[in-house]
Amino acid sequence: MLYVLYYAQDQRNYPATVNPPVNRLCAALGYIFRQPELLEEALTHRSISPRNNERLEFLGDALLNLIVAEYLFQQYPQANEGEMSRLRASLVKGETLAELARSLNLGDWLRMGQSELKSGSFRRESVLSDTLEAIFAAVYLDSSFATCRDLILRLYRDWLTGLTSASELKDPKTRLQEYLQARQQPLPIYNVLEIRGEPHTQSFVVECVAAAARTTALGSSRRKAEQEAARQALEQIR
């Protein structure tokens, strides 16, 4: 059966040999695949098929880094290499990709094994970010580099317009350490106070002791909890 997706951008009807739910994903992406099998592969997790999205994710990661680097190079002519690297890292990191993937409801279309579905893997940051990168590669292979670049920059529009200064992109632990070192004070100490939940859904409670500050924070990983505790400590001692 052939389904038709109404593509409002240029007021035309586009035929697609994919099912209606995936048509809705195409609408969210603003792109219709000429080769729907590429999109299917991009949405396929290794838990369900040997023909999965890992190779596409490898290519998509490289494309994303190049496209973002090119954008920053052109838009920030006064930024040095280190500043551009921090800006790029903030845009291509798994957390940002996963947030963008969730805005597309990407987890709803993932093809995964039953055990992975039951464990909630379709909501995991790494799975969502890898799948989105695989989709970027699928768009590139289905069309052209220019089309892929336009799609990525369009999806990233809010992040690109909301970019902060590169100096503010240092993570809280780094900023806290530099702040203390500049004042010849002892380095912060981090202690794991508690680990909650099952192994695949753990959360961590971490304490940060820095100068006169003592803060605690909860995070889905030890690193995230430490970063949040450091951020709170920096606010207290400034």
Residues designated catalytic = 61, 133
Distance between the two ends of the chain, CA-based, in angstroms? 64
Residue 191: beta bridge partners? 207
Q: What is the 3-state secondary structure (H, E, C) of 101-131?
A: HHHCCHHHHCECCHHHHHCCHHHCHHHHHHH
Q: Which helix (H) or strand (E) holds 164?
A: none
CB atoms within 10 A of CB 57: 20
Separation in Å, CA 91 to CA 13, 140, 155, 158, 164: 34, 19, 12, 11, 11
DSSP 168: G
- Partners of 192 in beta bridges: 206
- Which among 221, 214, 231, 65 is positioned nearest to 137, based on CA atoms? 65
Query: Angle at the Cα of 168 (from 179 to 233), degrees rounded to 5?
Result: 40
Q: Which amino acid is at 117?
A: L
